Amino acid sequence: MNTPALQPSTMMKKTLRMGFAALCFSAFAAQAQAPLSTLAPLKAMTLAGARFDPQQLNGKVAVVFYWSTACSVCRDSLPELRNNQMGWRNKPFALVTVNVDRSSEDWQSYERILASTRQFSPGSMSVRQDSGQSVPSKLPLTLLVDAQGKVVARYEGRLAPEVWDGVADLMP
């Protein structure tokens, strides 16, 4: 006995397609759109043990890069960040690399080795986030911050070329 296969109605198909499209679009939009917010106060210490002063960023376009020594993508991005920072050294620009390692010794060892092989330029700040602050769920995390302290773009994962386009667009 042949029984006819149940076929979803045209209306049901249309509703499912629209729902799927909306879901895909909202996921894409959430990833592509950067939340516009003010940069949360960063509580961190410098390699020398001094408290990081976020006021140093006032009036500057900044790239704030959260990273860990355990993250190979993070470590691979650091030379590009520092090289591009050198290109902006005569502009109101700051690069802040924020380490989130559990162990401060890991960060300190890495920075000491790096300091022995390259010179850091003014405007480049390497800090370690205080242990009481929440760590980004995905590393690396790059924030593009305008001169008024507003986060205008957020990028998770590999360093996006759009970061540098954004810096150029925000420069006076």
State residue 8's pLDDT score. 54
Residue 19 lies in a domain: no
**Contact, 138 vs 161, CB < 8 A?**
no
- SS3 at position 36: coil
Q: Is residue 23 part of a domain?
A: no
**pLDDT at residue 118, as a whole number:** 76
Residue 118 exposed, middle or buried by CB count within 10 Å (0-12, 13-18, 19+): exposed
160 in any annotated domain: yes
Number of domains the chain contains: 1
pLDDT at 36 over 70: no
Q: Higher model confidence: residue 7 or residue 141?
A: 141
Q: In terms of residue numbers, what domain contains 154?
A: 37-170
Q: What is the CATH number of the domain that holds 163?
A: 3.40.30.10
